[in-house]
Amino acid sequence: MERKLIGVISGKGGVGKTSLVASLASIANMDPEINSIVLDCDVDAPNLSLILPPEPEYQIKTQETFTTLKATFLEDKCINCKQCIDDHFCEFNALSWDEDNQIPILDYLACEGCGACKVLCPEHAFEVNPVKSGEIISYKTQIGLMLVYGITKLGSTTSGKLVSDCKMFAKGLEEFSESNLIIIDGPPGIGCPVIATVSGLDYIITICEPTPSGLHDVMRAIEVVREFKIPFGIIINKSDLKSPFQDKFKKFIDDTGYDILGRIPFDLSIPKAMSFAEPVVDHAPDSRASLAIKDIYNNLKKILWDHQEN
Amino acid sequence: MSQRPKVICVTGGKGGTGKTLVAVNLAIMFKNDGYKVLLIDGDVENPNTYLLLGGSLENKTEVPFFIPKIIEDKCTKCGLCAQNCAPHALLHIPDAFPIPILAVCSGCKLCYKICPEEAIEADSKVIGWTYSTRVNDLSLFIGELKPTEARSATIVEDLLEDLDDIIEKEPDKFDIVVLDTAPGAHCDVEHLIKKADFVIPVTEPTKFGKLDLIRIIDLILLLKKDYRAIVNRSSLLGFRDEFLKELKEKKITVLGDIPLDDEIVNSYCQGIPLMEKNSDFDKNGAGYVAFKKLFANLKEWIQLNSDKNTGGK
């Protein structure tokens, strides 16, 4: 079977991305046709490793990434000309002026590492160097498949880049060549890390809940996915949530004509499974939520491999 | 003595924990008490405050972002711009004009500044919008990133510049500013936390909630801010007491907790804030009572009635 890369995004956070990915991974892991690798690209708040812990005694690999650039100020070269401030070298407000010492102050967190100060300073009083931007962690999970996840170093500013690095890293794994399904747990939002997550994928699952912000945010995520021309399907989580918004939600979704990949009913077995840090399909295999997720998995397989029609 | 407003930032690390719910209802409670309140929706990837307030997007202003425009008549194809572009947003093939790759451009304008022929002009494109409106007697600023654009931080900066402007020119205009952030711990969230006097991370009583809370607190402390956490959906599956105990063991200060309550879901789906004083919601409901208590704790923490806050550590 041809290798497929799929991602789960939602726009809004906390609507069930990670719970879903953990369960899909567990089902895929039991499927004799499938050889799967899981990635957690929510590099600001990676949580998947809590549900998919490493196999005991497996050597966890940690690779530091140095893709972030940051400027440093070299005081001994500075001639206090203040040109860096007067000519507005920095577009990111990372340079301000220290009146007492007549030197620039560099705000490390605000610096984007663009190197404008380095290039523009006539005295070469700035340097730009790579700094640690995060870590990529990989291991064989207890259930058997490989997990790769990234975690940003706080204040390093480059979540999107780390997402791309994680995907590259996974492609370099020995297990990748034998794999036929790569499942990516995406970040919330629609910005840089989400764009980095979805680019180059074969299929996207957009998950939402039937609430005003759930709908609003998933539609924004779908706009991004459509721009990239990637096929996608919607999953409605907590689909039977008692809410005065249900009718409006249903009408809106129906009117778009977008594919519905599945519906997961509101089921306390999901938070229960999470409290045991287990995928719900393992913790409560016969629960309504688990049955719904199994249906979703089967649908997904059909969409990915049976026939390619839209 | 004119006093600058107190700035409270509601954040959380994990998505969907109730940041916007808390930000909106805190703002409403301050307003109910007669304070002049500005709410800023800094979750520019997915701004939702106006949905919870039943408001609409008004006074749209475009947020421009730099794009390099190559003036072919002046360009000598020297390649200096591409050589110095850190994110490789200019592709230079020998004997050809440089090609901008806008998706990775950081907007540093270095190419425009260093071109010896002045062959690069600073053009711009719209990457999002800001809105300002008044709803329920609150002033509301909203930032919105245009879907498919990546530079969300630029929109957040735009909102914060507006805030700086107000604080500088009319420090009395608002007593309280509430900032709502995106999930995560990236630069957008950082910018907003940096601007705050008090930070409130909102979490939920799950393993995910705890892990992400610890991470966002690390960021808050890195930015040298004082914080108090709120535990939302605290009654979920009876985890409350154990979760609060775990936070205590980690020396995480808690402002209060909000139990599960259908009235909260209803208020959210109707676009009427739970704490709006003229609403029909049950004033003895679990959510309502919890918010009242939280608010009392918050006012004590930020020392609203004294002249000067001593909130910092």
Q: Which residue has the tokens 């690069």?
A: B120
Q: Which of A223, A221, A225 lies closest to A198, judged by CA?
A: A225
Task: Report residue A310's pLDDT band, with 50, 70 and 90 as the boundaries.
Answer: very low
Between strands A260-264 and A232-237, the pairing is parallel
**Do A28 and A75 lie in a common domain?**
no
pLDDT in tens, B234-272: 999 888 999 999 999 999 999 999 999 999 988 988 899
**Backbone dihedral region of B238: left (phi > 0), alpha (psi from -120 to 50 degrees) or beta?**
left
Q: Which superfamily does B6-62+134-302 belong to?
A: P-loop containing nucleotide triphosphate hydrolases (3.40.50.300)
Contact A189 B207 (CB under 8 A): no
The percent of residues above 70 in pLDDT, for chain B, comes to: 96
**Do A144 and A53 lie in a common domain?**
yes
Q: In this structure, what CATH number is given to the domain that contains residue A61?
A: 3.40.50.300
Residue A245: alpha-carbon gap to chain centroid: 28
User: A4-24: buried (b, 16+ CB within 10 Å) or exposed (e) per residue?
Assistant: bbbbbbbbbbbbbbbbbbbbb
pLDDT at A224 over 50: yes
User: Least CB-CB distance to A45: which of B215, B262, B269?
Assistant: B215
- Shortest distance between the Cα of B305 and any Cα of chain A, in A, equals 34
Task: Report residue B2's pLDDT band, with 50, 70 and 90 as the boundaries.
Answer: low
Question: Rounded to whole angstroms, how far apart are CA atoms A11 and B46?
Answer: 7
Report the chain B residue with the minimal C-alpha distance to residue A270: B237
- Kindly state the average pLDDT of the residues A69-75: 95
**Does A5 contact chain B (CB < 8 Å)?**
no
Per-residue pLDDT, A309:
46
Cβ distance A156 to A193 under 8 Å?
no
Domain boundary among A93, A115, A131: A131
* Mean per-residue pLDDT of chain A: 95
- Shortest distance between the Cα of A264 and any Cα of chain B, in A, equals 17
Beta bridge mates, B140: B39, B133
pLDDT at B311 over 80: no
pLDDT in tens, A111-139: 999 999 999 999 999 999 999 999 999 99
Establish whether domains B6-62+134-302 and B72-118 are of one fold.
no
**Do A116 and A184 lie in a common domain?**
no
pLDDT at A258 over 50: yes
Angle at B41 (CA atoms; ends A190, A160), nearest 5 degrees = 30
Half-sphere exposure of A72 (CA within 13 A, CB side): 7
Contact A212 B48 (CB under 8 A): yes
Choose between A155 and B83: higher pLDDT.
B83
Question: Rounded to whole angstroms, how far apart are CA atoms A13 and B212?
Answer: 12
First to last CA, chain A: 20
Domain boundary among A131, A163, A185: A131
Half-sphere exposure of A278 (CA within 13 A, CB side): 11
Per-residue pLDDT, B307:
41
Residues of A in contact with B225 (CB under 8 A): none
**Do A229 and A126 lie in a common domain?**
no
Tokens matching residue B152: 């969300």
**Do A120 and A149 lie in a common domain?**
no
**Do A217 and A108 lie in a common domain?**
no
Which of A168-182, A211-225, A242-256, B142-156 is predicted with the least confidence, judged by mean pLDDT?
A242-256
The listed CATH number (3.30.70.20, 2.60.120.430, 1.10.1240.10, 3.30.160.20) that belongs to domain B72-118? 3.30.70.20
Per-residue pLDDT, A128:
95
Look up the domain containing A196 and give its range: 4-66+134-306
**Do A231 and A284 lie in a common domain?**
yes
Beta bridge mates, B8: B178, B198
Tokens matching residue B290: 């919890």
Contact B152 A14 (CB under 8 A): no
SS3 helix, strand, coil % of chain A, rounded to 5? Answer: 35, 25, 40
Domain count, chain A: 2
pLDDT in tens, B23-44: 999 999 999 999 999 999 999 9
**Do A250 and A299 lie in a common domain?**
yes
Residue A186 carries which DSSP code?
Answer: P
**Does A195 contact chain B (CB < 8 Å)?**
yes
Report the chain B residue with the minimal C-alpha distance to residue A117: B110
Per-residue pLDDT, B305:
62
pLDDT in tens, B124-134: 999 999 999 99
Residues of B in contact with A190 (CB under 8 A): 45-46, 145, 147
- Kindly state the average pLDDT of the residues A253-273: 95
Q: In this structure, what CATH number is given to the domain that contains residue A116?
A: 3.30.70.20
Domain boundary among A131, A148, A178: A131
Report the chain B residue with the minimal C-alpha distance to residue A119: B84
Respond yes or no on whether ipTM tops 0.90: yes
> Environment class of residue B304 by beta-carbon count within 10 Å: exposed (0-12), middle (13-18) or buried (19+)?
middle
Tokens matching residue A110: 């605000």
Which residues have C-beta within 8 Å of that of residue A195, sequence separation ≥ 6?
A: A160, A224, B103, B148, B150
Residues of A in contact with B157 (CB under 8 A): 93
Per domain, the residue ranges of chain B are 6-62+134-302, 72-118
**Do A73 and A61 lie in a common domain?**
no
User: Least CB-CB distance to B108: which of A114, A192, A227?
Assistant: A114
Which residues have C-beta within 8 Å of that of residue B225, sequence separation ≥ 6?
A: B9, B193, B194, B196, B197, B198, B199, B312
